[in-house]
Amino acid sequence: MIRRALRQGLRGILLTWLTLSTLFLATRAATDKATLIQGTLEGNARVSGLPEQLALTQQLLHRYNLDRPLFYLAWQPAAGWQWHGSHNQYHQWLLQLAQGSLGYSYQEDAPVMHLLGRALRYTLPLTLLAAGFSLLLAVHLALWVSCRPTARSLVLAVLHALQSIPLFLLAVCLLLLLANPDVVAWFPAFGLGDAETEINWLQQPGYLLYHLTLPVLSLVLVSLPALTIQLDGALQQELSQKYIVTARAKGASRSRAVRQHALRNALLPSITLLTELLPSLVAGSVVVEVLFALPGMGRLLAEAAATQDYPVLVGAAGLTALVRLLAQALADMLYQMADPRIRLSQ
């Protein structure tokens, strides 16, 4: 078990490094230095003369390591391949990454880790609440449907219809129905009110959950159908097994056979959905946060993409890759807990 954990950890580190390296090299190669410098000079009213502009330009290029070659090797049409040694952007980025730093934002001139941490204060509770409610509702709904075969067709038809609705359209419908003064204004339409400036989940959980109700509901409704349909299909397969037939022959009701016997084995195929659930909720939270004007990862990524703030985009992509790796590790652990027959390969 320790070997497998170490092997998975090393594989996760390797995949994360490859993902981040590819994104870093691609975004740095696409970085327009002239646009970056011009935007900084225009935003700095104190810089007026040419000498000051040149000095600030050199300072800016040095701060972001843009005055160095991109990689260890570079092709020059006149000179051919040239070796730059450790004096390059990628090597400096690796040193910063080893120290737990993702560099500085081009636009806010702040550490990327600080910006991501500030955004996660809103995105993390939103994603965890959506994941918890989705799993809880999916299990109970699948059990309810399996215990009532007459209602199964209708419920599955509704779930398939709900699954076909895009997240953006679903969130807009919730806004028009539950946050519209002309219909029902039960919930706020956007933002976090006064809590947006300084948030404390422990001191004011009710107030913040009230503002997160529609975003969480949007994510739950978009992820619930797939989880429920998958679990219901697994339960139907288990209900045809001989041990269920034996339990029913001994007098167990359908509800008891489903809950006490079929559920545990039916959860095994559904565990694989956890690998996709958390990353999909993180991606969905970007859409939801932009639509509901929440100061989380969605707003941060939207602003970074609009301003070509590539360090922030690379950091967010690395965070998403890390979430997927953690979800895979969690699914593997749950597999072992749910089925003792699973033997770890050496």
Task: Take residue 160 and report the two structure tokens written for it.
Answer: 């398939």
Q: Find the mean pLDDT for residues 246-266.
A: 82
Rounded CA-CA distance 15/199 in Å is: 34
Contact (Cβ atoms closer than 8 angstroms) between residue 127 and residue 216: no
**Rounded mean pLDDT of the chain?**
79
CA distances to 14, 103, 159, 219 from 165, rounded to whole Å, are: 36, 39, 10, 12
Q: Retrieve residue 311's tokens.
A: 């360090």
What are the boundaries of each domain within the chain?
Answer: 32-63, 66-101, 112-338
At 58, the pLDDT band (50, 70, 90 cuts) reads confident
Residue 196, pLDDT > 70, answer: no
Confirm if 121 and 297 have CB atoms less than 8 A apart. no
pLDDT recorded at residue 161: 92
Lowest mean pLDDT among 160-174, 218-232, 257-271, 280-294: 257-271
pLDDT score, position 44: 52
Mean pLDDT over residues 12-35, rounded? 78
CB 131 within 8 A of CB 279: no
Better-scored residue on pLDDT, 120 or 44: 120
Question: Is the pLDDT higher at 76 or at 312?
Answer: 312
CATH assignment, 112-338: 1.10.3720.10
Percent of the chain beyond pLDDT 90? 8
Q: Return the structure tokens found at 287.
A: 């859409």
Q: Is the pLDDT of residue 31 over 60?
A: yes
CB 120 within 8 A of CB 282: no
Burial classification of residue 17, based on how many CB atoms lie within 10 Å of its CB (0-12 exposed, 13-18 middle, 19 or more buried): middle
79-112: pLDDT as tens digits:
778 887 888 888 888 888 888 888 888 888 788 9
Confidence at residue 37, expressed as pLDDT on a 0 to 100 scale: 61
| pLDDT(137) > 90 | yes
- 303 pLDDT higher than 90: no
Supply the pTM of this predicted model. 0.79
Pick the more confident residue, 231 or 264.
Answer: 231
Cβ within 8 Å of residue 307, ≥6 positions away: 39, 106, 107
What are residue 80's DSSP bridge partners? 76
Q: In DSSP terms, which residues pair with 138 in a beta bridge?
A: none
| pLDDT at site 158 | 92
Instruction: Please say if the pLDDT value at position 72 is more than 60.
Output: yes
* Short-list 291, 283, 242, 289, CA closest to 262: 242
> Does residue 187 register a pLDDT over 70?
yes
Confidence category of residue 346, pLDDT binned at 50, 70, 90: very low
